[in-house]
Structure 1
């Protein structure tokens, strides 16, 4: 996967009786590309989520960023940190069946566009969505950046049992990226995920950047760590290429 010129657009996808907006970025040059669903953070369709979608496209993927909050706050773009409580409130409106419906609609769109494989990348809360989607849907590869709440029942997405317990359903490859200084995801949680993935013989990689905080991937934030971010993007490109 190499950097390429891209084109972007907004589309509407039918999900049951609802309509969900999604941001799409793809290489400008026609070709056969992997498809990627992008799971956003609690800040909704924030410009950093769209920028990540663009970068996936520039690497040679058809990337679809769905509006996971479309049922209660369509096209929400919350302000980083300032709107954290509102974002957590919106996160708590998500449930497993509806999230699977949303991701399934994106996978159908990727199939329609001729994607050669179906994959997902998620960030923070969107990383949780990606992990759960991998247990329920035929994803070839999944990458989750600092996904929270996987080993507890603190949000509806991790109920009735912690999402880690659904790990046996994963059929594709999965990579998890964490910061060692992330106060939201401790070593015990990471070890529990490692144990579950290993016990189920799932092809996986868990990458821990010891000096990185939560949210190290996105430029323009105090938490951004360029050296770890670029290493992550390289690993992510390799994952989608395999």
Structure 2
């Protein structure tokens, strides 16, 4: 099996969607419900969050380019309104792990929504060819992704059960970088939690790759509209510790005193992903506790 050690990739027991009590949710396109086979550990015992007390399902959000953007929604039953949390996936897209993260947040009282950023080209979730996955992810440029987040926010603002005055965002790997970018772009985002997303260009990146990866979080510290915290691994082979230090320094220089990064010295890339060999249960739990504390303070106060 190939180990994923970089946020953009290397240089399956299924869950069934519950359609019970969908309420205002509109069922949209079909979605892959297994764990991404490209990174799945055969010995993994992923956390599986049930749907008791929740309403879950697929919806579509009209994106600025006219695309009907699929998204997975999990929220508590009832009228709400509930604070909104956007969940940004890894390079594997909207698979079982990301869906479960949404349900975990819903169990904590949030309306969680995970857009399928990559499916304009192809759904990467069921694929095992890393070159193909990378090509799919590479096609999702910064403006498209920001447009998709704007579309998600716009769709949610029309749902009576969503409190769009209280908005958070969290993302993993590729999605971790997007958290920083979105928090710098959208004033509506009050709080973000980035899990090991790239902060600066890779030391081995070509000039073209560096340019295509802009804007980098290290250049956005002064533009953050809300509080963002990061959970990063000290053993991450794709995100050097010196870039973590550079991001922390940029936050300090920008006076973003509530924002900051915790570096887990014994954690690898993907340490929260409970379906991967890199999963570190203790550090994942601590990182989630940090997420919970921030969201409680900023989205429920």
**TM-score, length of structure 1 as denominator length:** 0.90
Preserved CA contact (<8 Å) 2:184 2:220:
yes
* Structure 1 segments unaligned to the other structure (5+ residues): none
Deviation at 1:230, TM superposition (A): 1.1
State the secondary structure of the residue aligned to 1:43: coil
Residues 136 and 213 from structure 1, CA distance in 2 versus in 1: closer, same or farther, beyond 3 angstroms? same
Preserved CA contact (<8 Å) 1:177 1:206:
yes
Q: Which has the higher contact order (CA 8 A, sep 6+)?
A: 2
Preserved CA contact (<8 Å) 2:171 2:194:
yes
* Structure 2 segments unaligned to the other structure (5+ residues): 1-50
CA RMSD of aligned residues (A): 1.9
Instruction: Give the distance between the partners of 2:295 and 2:115, measured in 1 at CA.
Output: 19
Match of 1:140 among 185, 190, 193: 190
Preserved CA contact (<8 Å) 2:169 2:192:
yes
Deviation at 1:22, TM superposition (A): 0.4
Counterparts of 1:91-170 in structure 2, within 5 Å, are 91-113=137-159, 114-115=162-163, 116-138=165-187, 139-148=189-198, 150-152=199-201, 154=209, 158-159=213-214, 162-170=216-224
Preserved CA contact (<8 Å) 2:272 2:279:
yes
Counterparts of 1:18-37 in structure 2, within 5 Å, are 18-37=67-86
Preserved CA contact (<8 Å) 1:41 1:126:
yes
Instruction: Give the distance between the partners of 1:119 and 1:164, measured in 2 at CA.
Output: 20
Match of 1:48 among 84, 97, 105: 97
Deviation at 1:69, TM superposition (A): 0.7
Deviation at 1:45, TM superposition (A): 1.1
- Alignment length, in residue pairs? 235
Instruction: Give the distance between the partners of 2:200 and 2:277, measured in 1 at CA.
Output: 27
Deviation at 1:110, TM superposition (A): 2.6
Residues 219 and 111 from structure 1, CA distance in 2 versus in 1: closer, same or farther, beyond 3 angstroms? same
State the secondary structure of the residue aligned to 2:82: coil
Deviation at 1:32, TM superposition (A): 3.4
Deviation at 1:156, TM superposition (A): 6.2
**TM-score, length of structure 2 as denominator length:** 0.73
State the secondary structure of the residue aligned to 1:65: strand
Instruction: Give the distance between the partners of 2:212 and 2:92, measured in 1 at CA.
Output: 17
Instruction: Give the distance between the partners of 2:70 and 2:210, measured in 1 at CA.
Output: 24
1:7-61 CA deviation, whole Å, 9 max, x = no partner? 2110011012111100000012433321011110111112111111111111111
- Which one has a larger percent helix, Structure 1 or Structure 2? 1
Aligned to 1:228: 283
Preserved CA contact (<8 Å) 1:69 1:90:
yes
Deviation at 1:212, TM superposition (A): 0.8
Preserved CA contact (<8 Å) 1:95 1:156:
no
Preserved CA contact (<8 Å) 1:34 1:240:
no
Preserved CA contact (<8 Å) 2:124 2:133:
no
